[in-house]
Amino acid sequence: MDQKKTGQFLRSLRNEKKMTQEQLAQEFNVSSRSVSRWETGSNLPDISLLVEIADFYEVDVREIIDGERKSEMMNDETREVADKMAAYAGNEKSKTLKSVQIIAIIGEITSIIAIVLMTIDYEPGLKNTLTMIAAITTLILMSVLTLYVTGRLEKVTKSKKAMKAVKISAIVLLVLSILYFLRTFIFVIIFFGILFIDSLFNKPETDTDIAHYNDYVHIEQTEEERYKNPNPTTNGEMFDIWPDHITSDMSVTEYQYTYYNPWDPQYVIYMTAEYEPNAYEEEIQRLTALGSEEYQGIYSVTGEPEGYDIISMNSDDYHGFTYAMIPEGASDNTQIIYVSIWFHNYFLDLNVHEYIPDEYLLTGFNAEMDNPYQKENVQVPEPLDPDTYNDLMFPDFK
């Protein structure tokens, strides 16, 4: 069996469906990393998924295994055997996960009991504090394990809002724990000191060499590769509008890729391409088919860049915009400008005017810190005085 051949066949089937790896992963309730491994041949789908995948692509299980189409489809007997094998594998997997789930729940309950017992008559001290931190860490790990074996962890990690809530909750819990158990602000000072030092070393990276285009745009990466080298951008909604490759029938006259990651990745990218007439018509048809999402009102945007017509727009009220546009009213035009301004948490750390010509910016665009759109969509709680917090939450603590 040639796993790479099977992977290439699975990739071609997905491309026929015109689906991204993320979309296919949602269809089968797996991670996009799993889909990537299937298609590179480094791993194969569980036998419990083979029949579902074959039905979805309307091919034979044997065709998937052999990595090529056959002239005949799977007969009833073969399908029955495959279904039974899938059911058997599913039952075995379910039994194993159930046992792990029970162990994880017992671990959670044990950790909660330990934390409650340690909290009673708690006396500040390095040993007691480290013990409490260890118990809380164990509780968190057991909770993650429970989410994983129940299949909910993947849904949580795919939700950008959920992950944002987890990050904020973790930071708040850390700060409050330090204030309560150590009763000193020194660790808060250290925390902000680390942030300051981190900001000194993390600087925006800019690349103007078009030869590196596919090192950043539409690059295929596994989750492991993405972790080791997070700067290049993977396939997804951010780059759907951009061309897959720089071809011989297009001439790039402007290109700049800027990446910055103080905490979350941020991108400011633009490219101007002159096309051969036939290639230009094909690209306009592709972009038009992608459509344009509503964008006015997001980050104070009131309209298109002055002097340009937007052909395709991917707008996101959390991340920003990716769009393609052409000069307004130009006859015999063969020029297309591509732009991506993509960020997190409702604001852009970069000064966008330093990394892209103002004429390419959407009219009224404002994603600076504390921009009006951020204030409208993010409710920032008033800071709580530590002594007031302790009086309210732990009135009996002396």
User: What region, left, alpha or beta, does residue 81 occupy, with left being phi > 0 and alpha being psi -120 to 50 degrees?
Assistant: alpha
Query: How do residues 281-321 score in pLDDT, each as one tens digit?
Result: 999 999 999 999 999 999 999 999 999 999 999 999 888 99
CA angle, 335 then 336 then 339, to 5°: 145
Which pLDDT score, from 0 to 100, does residue 219 have? 64
Q: What is the CATH number of domain 3-74?
A: 1.10.260.40
Residue ranges of domains in the chain: 3-74, 205-377
Can you give the pLDDT at residue 73? 47
pTM, two decimals, is 0.48
- pLDDT of amino acid 95: 62
Predicted pLDDT of residue 368: 93
Rounded-to-integer distance, Cα 172 and Cα 338, Å:
39
pLDDT digits 0-9 by tens, 158-208: 666 766 776 787 677 667 666 655 554 555 566 667 766 766 667 889 999
- Decide if 235 contacts 220 (C-beta within 8 A): yes
**Please, what are the averages of pLDDT over each run of 10 residues along the chain (398 residues)?**
80 86 84 84 78 82 77 53 55 62 76 75 66 76 69 62 70 67 58 65 88 78 54 58 92 94 87 96 95 94 96 92 93 94 90 95 94 82 54 51
Are 304 and 329 spatial neighbours (Cβ–Cβ below 8 Å)? no
- Between CA 140 and CA 147 the distance in angstroms is 11
Q: Look at the alpha carbons of 398, 132, 163, 339 in this order and tell me if their dihedral is positive or negative.
A: positive
β-strands 308-316, 205-207: how paired?
A: unpaired
The structure tokens 């402007």 sit at 254
